[in-house]
Amino acid sequence: MTNPNIVTYPAVFTATEDDGYFVTFPDIDRATTSGQSLGESLVNATTVLGRALKDHRDDLPVATTLTELTHQHPTEFIQFVAVDLDHAPEQSLPEDTDEIRVAG
């Protein structure tokens, strides 16, 4: 049994000079975040994905394939991030948190 409210999108994790990661979602305009470790970056990515999509259930973008992203970003770490849209508001951090950003 599948849950239609759980969506999965690829995220591109780019290492930063301070051993952290900057995260982008190629299929979701302006959804970016970062973290001081890979684990923190993944948690933040889940939160930003939920924030970006919680009000767009009827017009979700099509996810780019892993093969295509691997060719576009050969040196970055690519991870699929899943979020349950029914619980996205509970996963969100306060709006004044600097680590999580969704523009637009």
pLDDT of amino acid 3: 65
Q: Which two tokens stand for residue 37?
A: 């470790």
77 vs 101 pLDDT, higher one: 77
Which residue has tokens 């889940």? Answer: 46
Sign of the torsion formed by the C-alpha atoms of 73, 39, 48 and 7: positive
pLDDT band at 30 (very low <50, low <70, confident <90, very high): confident
Question: What's the one-letter identity of residue 8?
Answer: T
Q: Would the pLDDT of 104 be above 80?
A: no
Q: Would the pLDDT of 2 be above 80?
A: no
> What are the tens digits of pLDDT across the range 34-89?
999 999 999 999 999 998 888 777 889 999 999 999 999 999 999 999 998 887 65
DSSP secondary structure code for residue 67 in this structure: H
- Does the pTM surpass 0.85? The reply is no
Q: What is the CA radius of gyration of the chain?
A: 13
